[in-house]
């Protein structure tokens, strides 16, 4: 018999039970549910609402249930609806009347809310740590390739020469922002809804601050209506994870491009690639493609929950049972993608010669040629026009800028001298970009050092 069945004259239809039940997916909240119940029972005893003897029995019973669930010897069926009712039913079966006193001054609404917050907070912290591991891998790669020149692209057209380290640091900065977004989300969700009751609080003399502290929350949720109906914490976490997956998807796209025979800037380790069922020569970047594909799945989960919440009046509504599966799926997906993605990057083989060869095509040093004239006093737009004509000449003759003669240059401007060839050398183009954030080795070294400090701070905050 269901705990709430006494008000009803007949049992629920089996199809209703199947639709209504969430135990098939919310069972993963059992640790958080038991932690919340233990904190609640302890507070009830401290406030004199139930006896110390009952609280001791409740905690012992909950400890036994937790151990049995973890060992796989205790399972639940859909007749118990959800993990919260399942645990309370089993507790009462084991310890009798003391188990019936656990739900005093508590509703399933604030119980679910605290369990869900605890779970999302724990998992968001775990994902944050995985992001820090990815940052470490990006820094390791960058430190090995501060002098490895490759093309930077705009519009997927070769634009200017940069370094592989500089490119990796661009993604490192994105991941840093992802970490801080998760930190912000964790800080905002760090408030305890337990004690809000069904929606308006309780008449019992409870101590909400005590349960919040026992569960590791920084503070209580200030409004009982908001406490049981808020899912902003889940939405904000999913939003942060969607942006994170977008960043991984962008890097995946580049990895797929770099692996292609048309580009061949990198080669993935055999352990992080797959083959074809029909073409024996194939080595496919399936991990990068999967991450790129799973990004859409994460986006979809975010929109699922936004749609569920968009028209709900206060306070709790059964629609909100649909909050957990998209959040669980998002957290599972991101937690699966990050470690394999990190290892894929850490083991990839970089091919510097191919990168450098690509830089010798496409006039990547054209801007530096214009800057050469500017530094000799010519207005930039005039210099830009002259170099455009030089590029047109090279295109017609099939030459690169560094293959023109000094006479070719001087036919366009007397400001050109022998040092133009050094000025447009690829190494010069990279090394002179010493401005903060630029591609010069010392500028990239500063970027790496900054990210390293960030990593150490993150590890110190969550050792």
Hey, which residues does 163 pair with through a beta bridge? 149
- Please write the tens of the pLDDT for every residue from 387-425: 999 999 999 999 999 999 999 999 999 999 999 999 999
User: CA–CA separation, 309 vs 316, rounded Å?
Assistant: 11
**Mean pLDDT throughout 419-444?**
96
Tokens 């790129």: give the residue: 292
Q: Given its phi and psi angles, is residue 221 left (phi above 0), alpha (psi -120 to 50 degrees) or beta?
A: beta
Assess whether 86 and 129 both reside in one domain: no
Cβ count within 10 A of residue 208: 22
User: CA–CA separation, 256 vs 276, rounded Å?
Assistant: 16
Assess whether 189 and 76 both reside in one domain: no
Assess whether 254 and 183 both reside in one domain: yes
Q: What is the pLDDT of residue 79?
A: 78
Beta strands in 242-336 (DSSP E): 266-267
Assess whether 52 and 194 both reside in one domain: no
Assess whether 119 and 205 both reside in one domain: yes
Judged by DSSP in three states, 319 sits in: helix
Nearest CA among 444, 383, 379 for reference residue 409: 383
Q: What is the pLDDT of residue 3?
A: 58
**Mean pLDDT throughout 367-394?**
96
Assess whether 201 and 236 both reside in one domain: yes
The CATH number of the domain holding residue 401 is 1.10.40.30
pLDDT of residue 1 exceeding 60: no
pLDDT of residue 304 exceeding 80: yes
Assess whether 171 and 271 both reside in one domain: yes
Assess whether 370 and 326 both reside in one domain: no
Residues with catalytic roles = 155, 276
Instruction: State the DSSP code for 260.
Output: S
Domain boundary (73, 104, 135) is at 104
Q: What is the pLDDT of residue 24?
A: 85
For the question of whether the overall pTM of this predicted structure is more than 0.85, the answer is yes
Q: What is the pLDDT of residue 461?
A: 86
User: CA–CA separation, 119 vs 129, rounded Å?
Assistant: 16
Element housing 391 (H / E): helix 380-397
pLDDT of residue 14 exceeding 80: no
Assess whether 98 and 114 both reside in one domain: no
Query: Residue 276 — pLDDT band, cuts 50, 70, 90?
Result: confident
Domain carrying residue 59 = 5-104
Assess whether 197 and 337 both reside in one domain: yes
**Mean pLDDT throughout 192-210?**
97
Q: What is the pLDDT of residue 2?
A: 56
The number of folded domains in the chain is 3
pLDDT of residue 84 exceeding 90: yes
pLDDT of residue 20 exceeding 90: no
Residue-averaged pLDDT of the chain: 95
Q: What is the pLDDT of residue 160?
A: 96
**Mean pLDDT throughout 347-356?**
97
pLDDT of residue 463 exceeding 90: no
């Amino acid at each position: 018999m269901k705990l709430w069945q006494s008000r009803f004259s007949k049992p629920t239809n089996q199809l209703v039970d199947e639709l209504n039940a969430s135990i098939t997916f919310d069972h993963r909240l059992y640790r958080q549910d038991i932690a919340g119940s233990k904190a609640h029972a302890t507070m009830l005893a401290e406030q004199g609402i139930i006896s110390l003897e009952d609280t001791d029995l409740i905690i012992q019973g909950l400890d036994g249930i937790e151990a049995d669930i973890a060992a796989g010897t205790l399972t639940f069926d859909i007749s118990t609806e959800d993990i919260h009712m399942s645990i309370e039913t089993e507790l009462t079966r084991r310890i009798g009347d003391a188990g019936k006193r656990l739900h005093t001054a508590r509703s399933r609404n604030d119980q679910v809310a605290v369990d869900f917050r605890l779970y999302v907070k724990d998992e968001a912290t775990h994902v944050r740590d995985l992001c820090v591991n990815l940052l470490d891998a990006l820094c390791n790669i960058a430190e090995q390739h501060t002098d490895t020149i490759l093309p930077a692209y705009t519009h997927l057209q070769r634009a200017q020469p940069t370094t592989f380290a500089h490119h990796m640091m661009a993604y490192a900065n994105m991941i840093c922002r992802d970490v801080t977004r998760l930190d912000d989300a964790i800080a905002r969700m760090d408030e305890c809804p337990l004690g809000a009751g069904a929606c308006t609080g309780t008449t019992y003399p409870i101590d909400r601050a005590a349960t919040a502290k026992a569960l590791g929350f920084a503070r209580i949720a200030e409004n009982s209506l908001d406490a049981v109906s808020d899912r902003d914490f889940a939405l904000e976490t999913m939003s942060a994870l969607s942006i994170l997956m977008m960043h991984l998807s962008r890097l995946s796209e580049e990895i797929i491009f770099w692996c292609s025979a048309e580009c061949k800037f990198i080669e993935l380790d055999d352990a992080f690639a797959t083959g074809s069922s029909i073409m024996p020569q194939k080595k496919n970047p399936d991990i990068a493609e999967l991450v790129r594909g799973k990004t859409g799945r994460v986006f979809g989960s975010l929109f699922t929950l936004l749609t569920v919440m968009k028209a709900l009046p206060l306070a709790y509504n059964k629609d909100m049972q649909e909050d957990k599966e998209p959040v669980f799926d998002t957290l599972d997906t991101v937690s699966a993608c990050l470690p394999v993605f990190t290892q894929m990057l850490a083991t990839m083989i970089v091919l510097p010669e191919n990168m450098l060869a690509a830089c010798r095509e496409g006039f990547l040093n054209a801007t530096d040629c214009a800057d050469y004239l500017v530094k000799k006093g010519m207005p930039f737009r005039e210099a830009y026009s002259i170099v455009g004509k030089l590029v047109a000449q090279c295109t017609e003759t099939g030459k690169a800028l560094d293959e023109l003669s000094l006479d070719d240059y001087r036919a366009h401007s007397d400001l050109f001298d022998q040092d133009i060839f050094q000025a447009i050398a690829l190494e010069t183009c990279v090394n002179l970009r010493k401005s903060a954030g630029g591609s010069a080795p010392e500028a990239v070294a500063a970027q790496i050092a900054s990210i390293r400090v960030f990593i150490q701070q993150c590890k110190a905050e969550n050792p």
